[in-house]
Amino acid sequence: MRILVIEDETELRELLGRALKKLGYAVDLIADGTDGQFYATEYPIDLAIVDLGLPGKSGMDIVREVRQRELSYPILVLTARSDWQDKVQALELGADDYVTKPFRLEEVIARVQALLRRSAGHAAPEVRFGPLEINLSSQVVRLQDAPLELTTFEYKVLEYFVLHPNQVVSKMELNDHLYDEDADPDSNVIEVLVGRLRKKLDPGTDWKPIETLRGRGYRFRVSED
């Protein structure tokens, strides 16, 4: 999943970026409002963390612009003011949640995970597809009730499939959402990752959730239990 962080305070931006990357998210870090709006509207973002007090364009302007362009990914607002009027204004413009500064990192992470989950239509962090059970909050994956060890990128691919079930996902899309702007992965990395994931999910059973659609990409074909 790709997360955009727009925060003008360098250290805070870097700390947030590091914490999110550690959890396996692709993170784009932007320092000012004008660039932030460009990224927020032109890049395939899964979630944006937007500070309200930004140089260039304000956070409110960015939220407004994103929603005006009918982009529906969740937006978490960081605000220094705890006034309800500011919170209500941000929420009415289209923000999904807010965190008041000075926040705890774990609080921001929890909100990010909840928003991503909710945007995929899951109310609880635990999602089950056939023999597969995945906790989107703790990132623990179990297959047939046994823990399944996945690398960070394998988990990221699986999480993306799980949050977009029964949808055609192109390699390009996976690439865009799993890697941030600075990364330049090999063209066959996605194929390798999907191949490894298939082996782990299908250790001799008939359950083959990842379909290959020639020339189009993949589809995670499941029925949610």
Is 72 a binding residue for another protein by CB under 8 A? The answer is no
- Say if CB 96 and CB 176 are below 8 A apart: no
- Options 21, 32, 35, 101; binder of another protein; rule CB under 8 A: 101
Is 9 a binding residue for another protein by CB under 8 A? The answer is yes
Report which residue type is found at 96: D
Cα–Cα dist 225/223, whole Å: 6
Is 31 a binding residue for another protein by CB under 8 A? The answer is no
Burial class (CB in 10 A: 0-12, 13-18, 19+), 149: exposed
Using the contact rule CB under 8 A, the part of the chain among 25-33, 80-88, 139-147, 202-210 near another protein is: 80-88
- Say if CB 50 and CB 77 are below 8 A apart: yes
Q: Please, which of residues 115-144 interact with another protein by CB under 8 A?
A: 118, 123
- Options 44, 69, 80, 212; binder of another protein; rule CB under 8 A: 80
Using the contact rule CB under 8 A, the part of the chain among 28-36, 92-100, 172-180, 187-195 near another protein is: 92-100
Considering the complex, state which of residue 135 and residue 170 has its C-beta at the smaller distance from another protein.
135
Considering the complex, state which of residue 91 and residue 189 has its C-beta at the smaller distance from another protein.
91
Q: Which residues bind another protein (CB under 8 A)?
A: 9, 11-12, 15-16, 18-19, 51-53, 78, 80-88, 91-92, 96-98, 100-106, 114, 118, 123
